[in-house]
Amino acid sequence: MRYLVTGATGYIGGRLAPRLLAQGGADTSVRCLVRDPGKLRDVPWAAHAEIVQGDLLDPDAVRAACEGVDVVYFLVHSLSEHGFAATDRKVALILGQAAREAGVRRIVYLGGLHPDGPLSEHLQSRAEVGEILLRSGVPTAALQAAVILGSGSASFEMLRYLTERLPVMLTPSWVHNRIQPIAVRDVLRYLIAAAGLPPEVNRTFDIGGPDVLTYLDMMQRYAAVAGLPRRRILSAPVLTPRLSAHWVNIVTPVPKGIAAPLIESLVHEVVCRESDIDRYVPAEGRLGYEEAVRLALARIGDGEVETHWSNAAVSGAPSDPLPSDPAWAGGTVYTDDREEVSAATPEALWRVVTGIGGERGWYSFPLAWSVRGWLDRLAGGVGLTRGRRDPDRLHVGDALDWWRVEEIEPGTLLRLRAEMKVPGLAWLEMGVAPDPRGSRYTQRAVFVPRGLTGHLYWWSVAPFHGIVFGGMVRNITGAAEATSTAPTRLRRAG
């Protein structure tokens, strides 16, 4: 079987692709169409797949990716705040036509579970994409799921942080709506099985776990599984979905742009209306809610989060791919360059550099980083709450607090690209090189302003760079020396 996976750098696609490779034989091949192949550079399974660069809005790229493929998995959905419905509609039309012309035997799509009647914009868009694919002329299985429970999923992280951080909370009326959550491992099982459906099957399928709960029940049961006291819940009907999204943005790592469509879907009762998928895939073995939560928490505790919602860049963020990288050639560019020679070995210095962020912090003036993070959250950004996917390893494409790992040259260079709310584009580069006295650490902050606001922003924060960036240089080299054989730091080189 020959598969094409779209969305392979995302939460579901990044888990599906290796399972397709693992469950197939010698005649199984997996092709992944991605905008930025660099995000899969350090993923172990990518060496066994065919990674193709292209944009789903490019008909030629999609047509070429569909050639010679039996099954196409459509696992992408725009979460931008403006124009997402038109974009998703265009992508679905392009992919449906390309699959039909290439002789693809089946399309498998993962959409959102929804009731009849008026829907939120995001749910309506996902339903429309399914309808377009069902009319494409290629047999399509449009699976529809509600809340997906798994380590690193946006839905699970929202639930987790709300419950853990708020022993007492004011809640909107939608927390009393019924939901049928499903474990991510069951979603993957259904996706894989859907590839083998009979050719005459062209329809939607509701998929869900064995439990139907309210969001309030989900929070209380999460608390029980996590060993937390029962949460005190107070009703506040005035909390609209929009206000709820802002609140989630502040309390949890999930930014407003992602929280809003999640909450909009919870405004509806999302319960399976049929279980016809059981005719083709046995329902036995589905994980119940508590077991799914227990498994997700175990994965998080063991540092084995396979993929994370933040794997996909925040839509419209400055870290979205640009025509060229690095992208600061031409135009006004502000930089802050610093350098220091250290007695630490290059290996020790590199370990500190690649261990930065998350619980270890940023090695200077924590209050300044914390305040900037909260301001970013209040503006609807990601802030510092995303942390790291893995405490010791970094890969290209990883989210790192408000940064995205853009480039890694092992042992020598780490380049981060900002996803915070700023009037321009920002990068942070950290370099390590051997030196006769030990090692040399270089650090460069780069900012490309957008409009007058961007210039004013740079000059307003520039006075603090000595404290923040200078402190980083001193403390990073100092931390490296503390773990290296040489005990003292040498003179500053610049």
Q: Give residue-wise pLDDT tens across range 2-60.
A: 999 999 988 899 999 999 999 877 789 999 999 888 888 878 899 999 999 999 999 99
Q: Is residue 327 part of a domain?
A: no
Same domain, 398 and 300: no
Same domain, 79 and 154: yes
Of the candidates 234, 230, 211, the one whose C-alpha atom is nearest the C-alpha of residue 222 is 230
Same domain, 338 and 193: no
Distance CA 326, CA 406 (A): 9
Same domain, 140 and 13: yes
276-305 pLDDT per residue, tens: 999 999 888 899 999 999 999 888 776 667
Question: Which of 274, 296, 311 is the last residue in one of the domains?
Answer: 311
84-104 pLDDT per residue, tens: 889 999 999 999 999 999 999
Q: Is residue 365 part of a domain?
A: yes
Same domain, 290 and 343: no
**Can you give the pTM of this predicted structure?**
0.70
378-431 pLDDT per residue, tens: 777 777 777 888 888 888 888 888 899 988 989 999 999 998 888 888 999 999
Q: Is residue 321 part of a domain?
A: no
Same domain, 303 and 384: no
Same domain, 392 and 283: no
Q: Is residue 133 part of a domain?
A: yes
Distance CA 282, CA 106 (A): 21
Q: Is residue 457 part of a domain?
A: yes
Question: Which of 255, 278, 311 is the last residue in one of the domains?
Answer: 311
223-279 pLDDT per residue, tens: 999 998 999 988 776 666 677 777 676 777 676 677 776 777 777 788 999 999 999
The total domain count for the chain is 2
Q: How does the average pLDDT of the chain come out, rounded?
A: 85
Q: So what's the pLDDT on residue 329?
A: 38
Quick check: 317 pLDDT over 50?
Answer: no
Q: Is residue 50 part of a domain?
A: yes
Lowest mean pLDDT segment, chosen from 136-145, 193-202, 308-317: 308-317
Same domain, 296 and 358: no
Same domain, 33 and 117: yes
Distance CA 400, CA 181 (A): 28
Question: Which of 262, 280, 311 is the last residue in one of the domains?
Answer: 311
What CATH number is attached to the domain comprising 395?
3.30.530.20
What CATH number is attached to the domain comprising 22?
3.40.50.720
Q: pLDDT band for 312, please (50, 70, 90 cuts).
A: low
Same domain, 270 and 379: no
Same domain, 307 and 347: no
Q: Is residue 316 part of a domain?
A: no
Quick check: 491 pLDDT over 60?
Answer: no
Q: Is residue 492 part of a domain?
A: no
Q: Is 311 in contact with 466 (CB distance < 8 Å)? A: no
Tokens describing residue 380: 């609807």
Q: So what's the pLDDT on residue 381?
A: 75
Which domain covers residue 163, as residue numbers? 2-311
Same domain, 291 and 347: no
User: What is the average pLDDT across 447-464?
Assistant: 86
Q: Which carries the bigger pLDDT value, residue 365 or residue 45?
A: 45
Percent of the chain with pLDDT over 70: 88
